[in-house]
A and B are shown apart, each in its own frame.
Chain A
Amino acid sequence: MGYDLMLSAMRYASPTTVAEAVDLLGSDPAARVYAGATDLIPQIRAGRPEPTVMVDLKRIDRLCAIGSNGSTYTVGAAAPTADICGHDGLAADFPGLVEASGLIGSDQIQSRSSWGGNLANASPAADTPPSLIVNDARAVIAGPGGERTVAAADVATGPGQTSLGPGEIIVEFELDQPPARTADAYLRLIPRTEMDIAVVGAAARITLDGDGNVAAAAIALGAVAPTVVRVPDAEAALIGNLPSGEVLGAVEAAAAAATNPIDDKRGTVAYRRQVAGVLARRAVSIAAERAAQQGDQS
């Protein structure tokens, strides 16, 4: 419908190995890899420079696989979020991360969209990075110099900016099986019920001890700073305490204070700050409740 000829100058490549993909990317600075292309194609249509070669990562088995060796899950960077949402093990162990994955777009988008794309696109408002980060996900990165593994938190460095070097791609994510009495949660605020961009996102992961006190906590906020922000003050306030009452108040205050938001068409500084606190508090409560239920079951 008018766009038909728009992509005509581009070439399409579909490597089947990581090495081939790295070669293609390394040999042409204007080549771009994509998984679902649900970020990339809208950006090109909106006027971003056209890549010379579109490198499709979905033909590489390793990038679409989801597996576990019993202690660590490995999730291909191009695996569609629909597969992730349908994976019983992930859903049981990382309910918040899976919820965040399920929020992306619609069924149509879900059949294409990936964690790798969500993270490498480096939008401050992306839904899965806060949850990847509270779960200490690691990204396995392949490049001309071989493979390296970094914390998922270290991939995005600013809006649209990543620490990926020339020719580097994210191959897969590693997630360690969580300890007992541990669960996560993710909440986002959008004015509509779906098909919208987070004004604020909040992920929390809580581990409880046998008495119901918090043994470990991780809280991360999206859309309130150039990159995902952790809230160490809120985490510290939780450790050794029951996740309720004044402690939750401290979480809310610390989360609001940790933000560094901007005023734009989607939200104001004051609103984002206030709501970040609210969502952080709620996410902690939900994660703690889930963790407690796990304790009950075992």
Chain B
Amino acid sequence: MTVTESKPSYKYVGTRPVRHDGLEKVTGRARFAADLNMSGQLHGIVVRSPHAHARIVSIDTSDAEAMDGVKAVITGDDFPAVDPSHRQYDMCINVIARDKVLYEGHAVAAVAASTRDQAQAAAAAVKVEYEVLPAVLTIDQAMAPGAPLLHAHMMTAGANPPAEEPSNISNVTRFSGGELDAGFAEADLVIEREFTTQPVHQGYIEPHACVADTGQDGHTTIWCSSQGHFNVRSSTATLLGWENSRIRVIPAEIGGGFGGKTTIYLEPLAVALSAKAGRPVKMVMTRDEVFRATGPAPGTKLRIKLGVKSDGDLVAGDAYLIYTNGAYAGPGGLLGAMTVFESYKIPNFEIEALDVVINTARSAAYRAPAAPLTAYAMETMLDEIAEELGIDPIDFRIQNAVTEGDPSTMGFPFARIGFVECLEAVRDHPNYKAPLGPNQGRGVAAGYWFNIGESSSATVNLNEDGTATVVTGSPDIGGSRASMALMAAEELGIDVYDIRPVVGDTEAVGFTDVTEGSRATFATGMAVVEACRRMVVELRGRAAKMMGVDVDDIDWMDGQAVYTGSDGEKAPLSVAEITAKAKRTGGPLTATGSLEAHGAGPGFAVHLCDLEVDPETGVVRVVRYTASQDAGTAIHPSYVEGQIQGGVAQGVGWALNEEYIYDSDGVMENPSFLDYRVPVASDLPMIDAIIVEVPNPAHPYGVRGVGETGIVPPIPAVANAIYDATGCRIRDLPMSPIRVLDAITSNGGSNGS
């Protein structure tokens, strides 16, 4: 279902062609990173720390080097030293530990051998002597006085007054507006709540994998799946101390990323092994390695206080947010601070957000990083307030929702946004009033993500027969190729299936930032449109030559050059007719667009979750789910719906079951999909996606990114529905059967505040 503001009528944009990469993917022909094999290739295996926190006393590789089939062994010493002040210091010492290991699974060495078996045997034979240090495993432990320090020199950034002693608090973010005390003094109702959440993994199906082939000329080629191959190139170059130009990165198909493949783990190791062995080296992580050593989203402790007038106006908000990004400084706190109060008009507020380091794997981005957790806290509290004030939860949100012109947390006014429209779409949907059965409950929650722009490049090549190739630098993680083709088809007037959308390697297309921040269809789409518009200028010029008329008298209409001058009738020329004569009119037809995109439109979403709780076991089953989201303009509505549904699925898993479980030494206890429970298909009903279209004024087609916002509301929507079904407010994640039953049993159904 689509709620559409009046918008131009498009021929291709907004249609649902089968994606260009679809058949290859469903038939298994598409090549993901682990599918590539080269003749003479070696297999690389990483040696990982069994300890959560330890000093590396020595590494003896001699036994491993002497083993059958072993061609190269590397350690941190094979990479140039990196200064702690370097912008990518954390990434560098995360890829391979130098003097210290900071979490269980931290890479300390790597081995390449003729077979994977041999490499595994050799990895086990690398002798690492550790001096085990006390591990810091929770936010409380990290912040306790006298806590063991992960980084001896880490001074809290942003502290005021400046930090004098090192600590495990990497940075502090503060935002404020209005007068907090005056705001609370005005309030008729004040509530304060605390929440805790555990790290969760992005859970992409494809483990990290790459092949690197380093030649004697000192140049290397890397095949890998990532969300940004230009970033793979620059990060690998940084680790190796090489120039970018020595590295070519060829993107493989990517089997899921969700933010987790915006950083690198294996590639520099594969290049170094390949350089040492003089052979291509393939590295593929196991699921166990993926869990232990890559990407979780942060765990948190959150405390929020809200003040509201009896008429429902929010007047004050005070947030104290602590994020842990694992063993390194991270942006969790900053992103939490940027999102916690962003969706609502709260005239008086203070936000303090800390980032704390602990001895667990380094966090990576995960769809709308940090926002699902601030939404969990905020949106369940709003639910409580609405109930207390006797206002419908959606009307309460509409009353307080930000609209065009309202200031954001950081003071900038919002451009045209679709938050209220998303709220109305759910309120007016029949599911909002659908009857509930016994033990069922309904929860509503909203979510926000700001989306980003960044650098993108695109090249359009017209083929001799009038078809086209659109090359961009954005890996396609959610159907963006189809969207690029649709926008190009609309611009050029060529059928969408006559356009081949391609993800070009680092030497085939201009620099393009990582596919993150829901930016590909927005920013790379803008680059495609820019390239196409240049192409149209060129096509008009060629047509003018062919007709022997002035270019100003040629218009581009419906894929044809049309003569509009007064010198009689001239047959219009199609793209195919122009390309057929290209040799005589100036040669091949190519155009590029490269830009820094600004004005990524913020995305809002409103979700409605109906679920059933077994009051005797605490098991929760989602029975109906309705999700609205402002897409600006849905270039390909099916993939917008897919993004919404995927966000819901991941958010529901996060709400109900997903969590990292560590033993008392910091060793992960559930590094498999058996015990790390992402939802399976039968856990979810069909999710009703409502696309709201409030065009983004900064994009030629009105696009807002849609990849992330959908994961923001599910956690509070589920929590509010559990409350509706049981009378229990659960403020710790996950809301697993054990926790739900415990809440029901210990609260006896009361409003556990």
Contact = CB atoms under 8 A, between A and B. Distances in A.
Whether A and B are associated in the same complex: the answer reads: yes
A193 B618 CA distance: 14
A274 B614 CA distance: 13
B657 A191 contact: yes
B116 A192 contact: no
B310 interface: no
Contact of B115 (A1, A5, A191): A5
Which residue, B617, B619, B736, has most C-beta atoms of chain A within 10 A? B617
A266 B675 contact: yes
A265 B664 CA distance: 13
B674 A196 contact: yes
B737 A271 contact: yes
Which of B43, B616, B656, B669 has its CB near the most chain A CB atoms (within 10 A)? B616
A71 interface: no
A2 B682 contact: no
Contact of A193 (B284, B616, B621): B621
B543 to A, nearest CB: 52
B619 A191 contact: yes
A192 B617 contact: no
Nearest to B675: A265
Contact of A274 (B680, B682, B741): B741
Contact of A2 (B116, B677, B745): B116
A2 B738 contact: no
Contact of B670 (A5, A8, A265, A267): A265
B359 to A, nearest CB: 19
B617 A278 contact: yes
A195 interface: yes
Given A2-B284, A6-B116, A194 B682 contact: yes
A38 B12 CA distance: 49
B34 interface: yes
Interface string B438-476: 000000000000000000000000000000000000000
A288 B680 CA distance: 32
Interface string A176-201: 00000000000001011111110100
A293 interface: no
A268 interface: yes
A6 B115 CA distance: 9
Interface residues of B, number: 30
B683 interface: yes
A192 B683 contact: yes
Contacts of B117: 5-6, 8
Given A2-B116, A6-B116, A191-B657, A271 B677 contact: no
A275 interface: yes
Interface string B665-683: 0000110001101011011
B333 to A, nearest CB: 29
A7 to B, nearest CB: 10
Nearest to B620: A191
B679 A192 contact: yes
A267 B736 CA distance: 10
Interface in A134-167: none
B126 to A, nearest CB: 17
A189 B43 contact: no
A191 B736 contact: yes
Contacts of B623: none
B453 to A, nearest CB: 37
A165 B286 CA distance: 36
Nearest to B674: A197
B22 to A, nearest CB: 23
A278 B661 contact: no
A2 B43 contact: yes
B655 to A, nearest CB: 12
A274 B43 CA distance: 49
Interface string A262-292: 0001111001001100110000000000000
Contacts of B618: 271
Contacts of A1: 34, 284
Contact of B682 (A189, A193, A266, A268): A193
Contacts of B621: 193
A159 to B, nearest CB: 16
B680 A195 contact: yes
A279 B618 CA distance: 13
Nearest to B741: A271
Residue from the set A2, A5, A6, A197 with the largest chain B CB neighbour count within 10 Å:
A2
A179 to B, nearest CB: 31
A248 B670 CA distance: 36
A278 B738 CA distance: 14
Nearest to B663: A265
A189 B745 CA distance: 18
B738 A268 contact: yes
A189 B284 CA distance: 35
B669 A191 contact: no
A121 to B, nearest CB: 15
A267 B618 CA distance: 12
Contact of A189 (B657, B680, B683, B737): B737
Contacts of A271: 618, 737-738, 741-742
A194 B738 contact: no
A194 B677 contact: no
Interface in A97-123: none
Nearest to A1: B34
A275 B43 CA distance: 47
A192 B649 CA distance: 13
A275 B116 CA distance: 45
B116 A5 contact: yes
Given A5-B117, A265-B675, A189 B669 contact: no
A221 B314 CA distance: 53
Contacts of B742: 271
A281 B235 CA distance: 59
Interface in B711-753: 736-738, 741-742, 745
A265 B617 CA distance: 17
Contact of A267 (B43, B616, B661, B738): B738
A189 B616 CA distance: 11
A214 to B, nearest CB: 22
Contacts of B680: 192-195
Contacts of B43: 2
B34 A2 contact: yes
B738 A193 contact: no
B738 A189 contact: no
A186 to B, nearest CB: 15
Contact of A191 (B286, B616, B737, B745): B737
Contacts of A268: 738
A197 B619 CA distance: 15
A197 B679 CA distance: 14
A274 B615 CA distance: 12
Contacts of A278: 616-617
Given A1-B284, A195-B680, A265 B669 contact: yes
Contacts of B286: 2
A196 B619 CA distance: 14
B114 to A, nearest CB: 10
B661 A265 contact: yes
Contacts of A196: 674, 677
A197 B672 CA distance: 13
Interface of A: 1-6, 8, 189, 191-197, 199, 265-268, 271, 274-275, 278-279
Interface of B: 34, 43, 115-117, 284, 286, 616-619, 621, 656-657, 661, 669-670, 674-675, 677, 679-680, 682-683, 736-738, 741-742, 745
12 contacts: A2-B284, A2-B286, A189-B737, A191-B736, A191-B737, A193-B683, A194-B682, A199-B737, A265-B669, A266-B675, A275-B616, A279-B617
Q: Nearest 10 A-B pairs (CB), nearest first?
A: A193-B682, A278-B616, A271-B738, A2-B284, A265-B669, A265-B661, A193-B683, A5-B115, A5-B117, A191-B657
Given A271-B738, A278-B617, 18 more contacts: A1-B34, A1-B284, A2-B43, A2-B284, A4-B116, A5-B115, A191-B657, A191-B677, A192-B677, A192-B682, A193-B683, A194-B682, A196-B677, A197-B675, A199-B737, A271-B737, A271-B742, A274-B745
